[in-house]
Amino acid sequence: MPAIEVERQILPILGSPNQGARFYNPDLPSSEPFVPGHRTCAGCGPSIQYRMTSKAAGDNTILVGPTGCMYVANSSYLCTPYNVPWAHTQIGSAGSFTAGVAAAYEAMIRKGKWKGAFPNIICEAGDGSASDIGLASISGALYRNHDCLIICYDNEQYANTGIQASSRTPYGGMTTFSPPGPMVPEAKTLFPKDLARMMAAGHPHCYVATASVGYPIDLMNKVRKGLNHKGAAYLMIYTPCQKGFVYETPRSIDLGRLVVECGLYPIWEWNPEKREYDYSFRPQNMRPVSEYLKLQGRFGHLHAEHIAKLQTFANQQWKMMGIELPEALIQAADAKNLVNMATASAAEAVAQTL
Amino acid sequence: MSTKGTKIPERLMIPFAGITPAPTQNGQDLFPTGNWRSIRPVYRDKLPPCNNACGTNEKIQGYLDLVKRGKYLDAYALIKEDMPFPSVTGRVCYHPCEQACNRGKYDEAISIRAVERFLGDLGQALTRDVVKPGAPNGKKVAVVGSGPAGHSAAYQLARLGYKVTILEKSPKAGGLNRGGIPDWVLPQNVLDREIERLVELGITIKTNVEVGKDVSWDDLKKNYDAVVLAVGLTEPNSARAEGENKQGVLFGLPFLRDIGMGTSKVKVGARVAVIGGGNTAIDCAREALRQGAVEVTMITVEAHPQEMPASPEDLHDMKEEGVELMHGKAMTAVLGDGKVKALQLHPAKFSGAINASPINIDREAPAERFAVDNVIIAVGQHASLAWLPQEFKTERGTIKIDRFGRLGDTNFFAAGDIVQLGAGQPLMVVNAVGDGKRVAFNLDKVMRGVTLEPRTIPVDVIFDLNRMNMTYFPHFPRVQQTLLPPKSRRKTQQEVIQAFTEEQAVEEAGRCFSCGTCNACDNCYLVCPEPCIVRDVRSNGLYKILVDYCKGCRVCIEECPTGCLEGVPELDFDTGVVRMDTAFAVSPGLHGRQAEELRNLGDRAPKNI
């Protein structure tokens, strides 16, 4: 069989803003595949992510939306905010559907039924789909190396059904499935699944990266790198959820920055050629986790030892990235050093005297 | 909303019980989520503190923004709106803008003066200036004096279409710019070029014409439709010491003026004392070194360098060059036999205002003898106003004006040091330029018969860094201008402070916060979750918020680096019932177009629901 010339789209990488003292975004792509009028909540993190992603991908794009916020809230009454072809699939079949779309285009090009560049095929799965229900099918799509980009927009819970815990919900996060109480004062006792590393370790031929809405240009560049990568790519993007995290809406981008600066969401890239992690991304500051936690109502019940436990977790993440820890962060990992915060037993004693 | 690619069955093309419109191809009109909103983002440009502090209100933020994008000519044209000679002020200005700069509270203030000089030098190199004279209106105006205020007034009047004649008593035009500022700060050829620019604007300059001697008050009244008096302070103050008429006693401004005009016959001796602690005294001390003095001592009444009414940078540079300071002393007599041999000094204290000089000299204390060859007295200037009708003189020896710079009901106006002495603001070139500019505009109004109105006070100046988003501005050091090494400066008339290169100017302009003013950084456009912030071209003032869809999440307001975006409660938009259709920006600022468009929303055809 003669080799088929597949015309591919190569998307240019955007220049970095904030060079030196200046703040000025680079020239952004003009295409706008995501349009207003959708019914997501005000300040919705996933929809910020969706907009940035689709803007980076351009108009020759096909979006796949497994069940999740970005399907439920956006596609009611038979219309969607997507100005490009978009299809819904079941929550468990994100990977298989996307693989099918990619395979179909490969076949159509092979048979001469599709003229033009190979489209950017992007699957926008929520963390429920990507880390729990659809994990197997996504792993399959990555393993078979279909030319597509699978994004997990990680709002750390099942949000469209009313905030239930997923395997990406952080330790201490309150959801309707993990309410805090006298028996389990920290609400969620398990630490989140390290999804992106799992994908990188299991499918080392894929481009895998993490990103956050707090760093829009970095996010858009990673989307473009993933699309330019010949084969499957996987992105995990932090997207705050205003209803689930319980914060003031203007903080959406701010939280995206803070979560990285607190070390709870390391930003890295997996380089499939060299088969190694690239930890060169550095946030401007390093902060204790309490600065991130205190902005959110879902962590309002935490006590000193829980915060210290989260700080220990964050410190492990910094170490994993090979970053030396400042003394203040090591101190903050000890509950004794967290002043003005009651321990769980002290709080319980107060409840019993009453 | 888009229904592109969606095939809608016929039976679904009916409205849903009057709540939600049926899916149609009308796209975005389907779900106006804007009615969720209680707070609306509004673009409202505020006044940056630098623009506010500048004596002539240069649009500093504006030209820094243009410089950082490489639009140097536009930046030069913008600066020329308020400032006729950026190449001069870029060298001599005491930069009140840099003191006010918000970046000064964060790391280091922006080197605005150096960028201004870069633009001024660029303008000097142009074969034709960007400024054109206005359409002639047939009126003749005389400007008396060609110093900063006169230069500025003549320049603005020529732009307004007046036929301007400058009367200058010295053989060369330039006034204080030429006579009061040494060559190693402002080279003569730079000033000559700026004066050429005035001639190119059609201004006639008559030198060697002194008002009161060559022309009288009545001549001015008869020959011109209006007159601007910008005569400045020409006569040096005496130090009120005995023996000031002895040979070897020099006065500050005439000393500098004669050197500047090239008519100086003075040879200074090895040991020179300078009396006074102001900027002129510093210039005199540094000039004395360049004229051949070996030891220069500055004798001030102020007890401490910080109290001296002088620019700290110049003071630092002067000390580097080797001038000694002697504090807390006043000269009470000049000793010597016809020629200065020594000074008699007494301890003294300075208390009170800069211009009033209440000096307490302790004459009881033992006098000190200080041997010198020359003494330069630089303790301020006063005006020479013998020619002026008595009714327009004040007790301070300045010209009496109303708040518009006008002398009574006459068509005479006055500007610059001659009216600003003792008025509470420091006497600086840039303040004189601003005064000249405002007086020119007032004169124009009087000529056109328009009622004069007092200056409006800026409503909203950003002084508080919390109103901006500082996460977007990493700390970054100021780009320093190179100086000649102190050793080599002492004997040369070469410029001490060196100009910025293009790269340095762009880097320094890039440090600007753009306080309170949109600089088209695209951040609001990028972070909007809807996205309901749209623009066609990327330019300040061309961002538009689709209020039909804005849910009021305020992410854009929080993330606006400059603090231009503001949240305004919907209840403040007072007209109409459907609030989202009736909004407009509270004060238009540069976003007037957006406000206009929003105002016209009422005329739009009702939606087909």
Beta carbons within 8 Å of B241's beta carbon, 6+ residues apart: B331, B332, B333, B334, B344
DSSP per position, A24-48: -PPPPP----B-S---PPTT-HHHH
Is there a contact between A78 and B530 if contact means CB atoms under 8 Å apart? no
A18: region left, alpha or beta (phi > 0 left; psi from -120 to 50 alpha): left
Evaluate whether residue B284 is within a structural domain: yes
Are B575 and B526 contained in the same domain?
Answer: yes
Residue B546 belongs to domain with CATH number: 3.30.70
The CATH code of the domain that includes B68 is 1.10.1060.10
Residue B250 lies in a domain: yes
pLDDT given at position A21: 59
> Beta strands B368-371 and B235-236: pairing type?
unpaired
Please check whether residue B596 lies inside any domain of the structure.
Answer: yes
Q: CA of A13 to nearest chain B CA: how many angstroms apart?
A: 16
Nearest to B6 among A23, A32, A79 (CB): A79
CB pair distance less than 8 Å for A36 and B33? yes
Please give the pLDDT value at position B456: 73
Residue B11 inside a domain? The answer is no
* Contact across the interface for B23 and A78, Cβ inside 8 Å: yes
CB contact under 8 A, B522 and A28: yes
What's the pTM value of the predicted model, to 2 decimals? 0.85
Residue B594, pLDDT score: 44
Question: Is the separation of the CB atoms in B98 and B49 below 8 Å?
Answer: no
Q: Which among A21, A34, A249 is the nearest to B553, CB-wise?
A: A249
Interface subset of B 48-87, CB within 8 angstroms of A: 68
B200 inside 8 A of chain A by CB = no
Query: How many other CB atoms sit within 10 Å of the CB of residue B535?
Result: 15
* Nearest CB to B552; choose among A42, A47, A82: A42
Q: Are residues B250 and B377 in the same domain?
A: yes
Domains of chain A as residue ranges with CATH: 45-287 (3.40.50.970)
> Strand, coil or helix: what is B361?
strand
B360 and B392 in a common domain:
no
Please state the ipTM of this predicted complex: 0.91
Whether residue A52 and residue B526 make contact (CB cut-off 8 A), yes or no, is yes
- Based on the domain organization, do B157 and B220 belong to the same domain? yes
Place of tokens 């390093």: A286
Chain B CB contacts of A43 below 8 Å? 529, 551, 553-555
Instruction: Say if residue B371 is in the same domain as residue B299.
Output: yes
Q: Single out the residue of A295, A210, A267, A214 nearest to residue B472, CA to CA.
A: A214
As a whole number of angstroms, the distance between CA A318 and CA B16 comes to 53
State residue A284's pLDDT score.
86
Look at strands B163-167 and B140-144 and give their pairing: parallel
Please check whether residue B192 lies inside any domain of the structure: yes
Contact B549 A43 (CB under 8 A): no
CA distances B409 to A72, A91, B163, B166, B416, Å, are: 76, 84, 22, 22, 20
Are B61 and B48 in contact by the 8 Å Cβ rule? The answer is yes
Q: CA of A46, closest CA in chain B: separation in Å?
A: 8
Write out residues in chain B with pLDDT < 70, as ranges. 1-31, 351-358, 424, 458, 572-609
From the list A28, A77, A242, the residue facing B23 with the nearest CB is A77
List helix spans (H) across B500-551.
Answer: 502-509, 523-527
Q: Tell the residue number behind the tokens 């100005």, with chain if given.
A: A83
DSSP A149-218: EEEEEE-SSBTTTT-B--TTSPTT---SSS---SS-TTS--SPPP-HHHHHHHH-TTSEEEEEETTSHHH
The two beta strands, B381-382 and B235-236, are antiparallel
Q: Is some CB atom of chain B closer than 8 A to the CB atom of A15?
A: no
Residue where a domain terminates, one of B329, B355, B381: B381
A87 or B493: which leads in pLDDT? A87
Contacts of A38 in chain B (CB under 8 A): 1, 31, 33, 530
CB contact under 8 A, B510 and A34: no
Q: What is the DSSP letter of B313?
A: H
Distance between CA atoms of B67 and B507, rounded to whole angstroms? 9
**Same-domain status, B493 and B591:** no
Task: Give the nearest chain B residue to A78 (CA atoms).
Answer: B23
Q: Does B2 touch chain A (CB under 8 A)?
A: yes
| Angle, vertex CA B423, rays to CA B422 and CA B427, nearest 5 | 70
Whether residues B558 and A85 touch (CB distance < 8 A) is answered with no
Distances (CA, A) of B197 to B389, B436, B440: 34, 17, 18
Per-residue pLDDT, B357: 55
Task: Answer whether B526 sits within 8 Å of A216, measured CB to CB.
Answer: yes
| Interchain contact, A25 vs B521, CB within 8 Å | yes
- CA separation for the pair B469, B467 (Å, rounded): 7
Q: Is residue B12 part of a domain?
A: no
Residue of B nearest to A45 (CA): B529
User: Which of residues 83 through 142 in chain A touch B, CB cutoff 8 A?
Assistant: 83, 85-86
Q: Confirm if A91 and A137 have CB atoms less than 8 A apart.
A: no
Q: Are residues B99 and B171 part of one domain?
A: no
End-to-end CA distance of chain B: 15
B347, β-bridge pairs: B329
How many residues are there in chain B? 609
Contact list in B for residue A215 (CB cut-off 8 A) is: none
Distance CA A275, CA A294 (A): 38
Closest Cβ opposite residue A37 in set B529, B549, B558: B549
In this complex, which of B1, B5, B475 lies closest to A81 when CB atoms are compared?
A: B1
Contact A21 B473 (CB under 8 A): yes
| Residue of chain A whose alpha carbon sits nearest to that of B478 | A21
Question: Using the beta-carbon criterion (under 8 Å), do B2 and A52 form an inter-chain contact?
Answer: no
* Contact A20/B at CB under 8 A: yes
Domain of B265, CATH number, reads 3.50.50.60
B37 to chain A: which residues are within 8 Å by CB? 42
Dihedral pair phi/psi, residue A283, rounded to 5°: -70, 165
Among the listed residues A71, A103, A104, A102, the one whose alpha carbon sits nearest the alpha carbon of residue A88: A71
For A130: left if phi > 0, alpha if psi spans -120 to 50, otherwise beta; the answer is: alpha
Percent of chain A beyond pLDDT 70?
A: 95
Report CB contact under 8 Å: B558, A42: no
Closest C-alpha among A269, A250, A262 to residue A313: A262
3-state secondary structure of A234: strand
Residue among A16, A34, A35, A245 with most chain B CBs within 10 A, to mutate = A35
Chain B residues whose CB is inside 8 A of the A70 CB are: none
E strand map for B537-595: 544-545, 565-569
Classify residue B102 by its DSSP letter.
G
Is A249 an interface residue toward B (CB < 8 Å)?
A: yes
The answer to whether B301 and B349 are in contact (CB under 8 A) is yes
Q: Are residues B281 and B346 in the same domain?
A: yes
Helix (H) or strand (E) holding B434: helix B429-448
Contact B2 A39 (CB under 8 A): no
- Give me the percent of chain A exceeding a pLDDT of 90: 73
Strand partners, B235: B382
Residues of A in contact with B555 (CB under 8 A): 43, 48, 249-250, 252-253
**CA–CA dist A308, A304 (Å, integer):** 6
Contacts of A14 in chain B (CB under 8 A): none
B393 and B348 inside one domain: no
Contact A77, B16 (CB under 8 A): yes
B528 in reach of chain A (CB within 8 A): yes
Distances (CA, A) of B135 to B131, B157, B197: 13, 11, 17
- Residue A319 sits at φ, ψ, to 5 deg, of -65, -40
Cβ distance of B1 and A249 shorter than 8 Å: no
Annotate A291-320 with b (16+ C-beta within 10 A) or e (fewer): ebbebbebbebbbbbbbbbbbbbbbebbee
Set of chain A residues whose Cβ sits within 8 Å of the Cβ of B3: 78-80
Which is nearest to B293 in space by CA: B344, B334, B343, B248? B248
> In the structure encoding, which two tokens stand for residue B85, read together?
């000679």
B530 in reach of chain A (CB within 8 A): yes
Asked if residues A349 and A185 have their Cβ atoms less than 8 Å apart, the reply is no
Looking at residue B20, its pLDDT comes to: 38
Pairing mode, strands A269-271 and A207-212:
antiparallel
**Identity of the amino acid at A213:** V
Of B2, B5, B6, the CB nearest to A35: B2
* pLDDT value, residue B429: 92
Cβ atoms of A272 and A228 within 8 Å: the answer is no
Q: What is the DSSP string of A74-130?
A: TSGGG-BSBSS-EEEE-GGGHHHHHHHHHHHHHHHHHTT---SPPPEEEEEEEHIII
What are the pLDDT digits (tens) for A180-228? Answer: 988 899 999 999 999 999 999 999 999 999 999 999 999 999 999 999 9
Domain housing B540: 32-46+517-603
- Cα torsion angle, B92, B96, B101, B107, sign: positive
Q: Please, are residues B115 and B508 in contact by the beta-carbon 8 Å criterion? A: yes
| Same domain (yes/no): B42, B61 | no
Determine the pLDDT at residue B585: 34
Q: Is residue B582 part of a domain?
A: yes
What pLDDT does B592 receive? 40
Could you give the angle at the alpha carbon of A161 between the alpha carbons of A159 and A165, nearest 5°?
55
> Strand A120-126 and strand A61-66: pairing?
parallel
**Distance between A253 CA and the closest CA of chain B, angstroms:** 7
Q: Does A52 touch chain B (CB under 8 A)?
A: yes
Instruction: Please say whether the beta carbons of B512 and B62 come within 8 A.
Output: no
B555 touches chain A (CB under 8 A): yes
Secondary structure (3-state) at B178: helix
A and B: number of Cβ contacts within 8 A? 141
- How many domains does chain B contain in total? 4
Q: Are B353 and B289 in a shared domain?
A: yes
- pLDDT at position B541 is 75
Same domain, B313 and B358: yes
Q: Which residues of B touch A81 (CB under 8 A)?
A: 1-2
Q: Residue B211 in contact with residue B396, Cβ under 8 Å?
A: no
Sign of the Cα pseudo-torsion (A261, A266, A267, A273, in order): positive
Residues whose CB is less than 8 angstroms from the CB of residue B203 and which lie 6 or more positions away in sequence, other chains included: B154, B155, B158, B164, B165, B166
The gap from C-alpha A81 to its chain's centroid, in whole angstroms, comes to 20
Give the pLDDT of residue B269: 86
Please give the residue that has the higher pLDDT: either A102 or B476: A102
Q: Phi-psi region for residue B302, left (φ > 0), alpha (ψ -120 to 50) or beta?
A: beta
- For residue B523, the chain A residue with the least C-alpha distance is A25
Q: What is the pLDDT of residues A320-333, one digit of tens each?
A: 999 999 999 999 99
**Closest CB to B28 among A36, A40, A80:** A36
Residue of B nearest to A55 (CA): B526
The residue in chain A having the minimum alpha-carbon distance to the alpha carbon of residue B524 is: A25
E strands, B546-597, in order:
565-569
Q: In angstroms, what separates the C-alpha of A147 from chain B's closest C-alpha?
A: 23
Task: Please provide the distance, in angstroms rounded to a whole number, between the alpha carbons at the two ends of chain A.
Answer: 81
Q: How confident is the model at residue A49 (pLDDT cuts 50, 70, 90)?
A: very high
Residue type for position A161: T
Q: Is B26 domain-assigned?
A: no
